[in-house]
Each structure stands twice: as structure tokens, then as C-alpha cells.
Amino acid sequence: MRGEALRWLSEARWDLETARFLHEAERFNAACFYAHQSAEKAAKALLYSVNEAPWGHSVRVLLERYFCRMGERVEELLHHARVLDRHYIPSRYPNAHPSGTAYEAYSAMDSSEAIRMAERVLEYASGRLEAGG
């Protein structure tokens, strides 16, 4: 499953770069969504690396499954996962907000934070997978 894990990690890197482009284009809600996607795919890469099928979209749940499997817990990453999970739906749908549109609800600060958090999840996954486990 190492090949599959690396394939997902590659896609996670691509999504993080997409988040950066969207942030520069001031598409802050979309940048937050792609930051979430990057972290989600990095977490799925970790699960593939331990031969576990990675179902679902919650970065927190995916990381918890990996940490449980590995007998560890990285609170910083779980905090980032909780924040990133908040961008999965509200960053895309206007009815997730009391008024206005999804794009009006997001700022440069929001997307900068989401990108920074996704970078940490991706760095962790890269370190684990590139170390061979």
C-alpha cells in the first residue's frame, strides 16, 4: 500500500499548492476548502501506509484512526484537524451561513490560517511516509 499512500500524498501536495493560488487570487473560501482537502488526503495517505481503508472526510477522525493504530496522539495536529474540518461544508455553501454567501464569510486571515494548518498536517504525513512508515 506504500505506492497508494505516496499517490495520496502527492495529491495532498497538489491541493495545498492550489490553496495557495486561491489565497493569492483572494478566493479565500475556496482556499480554505482546498487546505482542508490537502490535510484530508495527507491523513488518508497515512492510513493507506498502515493498510487501512481511509473512509470519510473528517481530518480529525482520519488522524485519530491513524494515531490509534500507531499508539500515539499528536494534539497539535488534532487541533488543526478540528479547525480544518469546519471548512469542509461552510466554505462552499451559502446556506451554511445565516446570510450572504460563502465567499463573503471568509477572509485572508482565515485562509492563511487554514493553509498553515494544512502545511503542518502535510509535513507530518510526509515525514512519516518518507521515513518509510
DSSP string over 48-103: HHTT----SS-HHHHHHHHHHHHT---HHHHHHHHHHHTTTTTTT-GGGSSSS-TG
CATH architecture of the domain covering 2-130: Up-down Bundle (1.20)
Encode pLDDT of 9-21 as tens digits: 999 999 999 999 9
Going 109 to 110 to 115 to 118, the CA torsion angle's sign is positive
Give the percent of the chain with pLDDT over 90: 94
Is the pTM above the cut of 0.75? yes
Instruction: Give the span between the Cα atoms of 22 and 48, in whole angstroms.
Output: 28
The structural domains of the chain, with segments of one domain joined by +, span 2-130
Residue with cell 499517490: 7
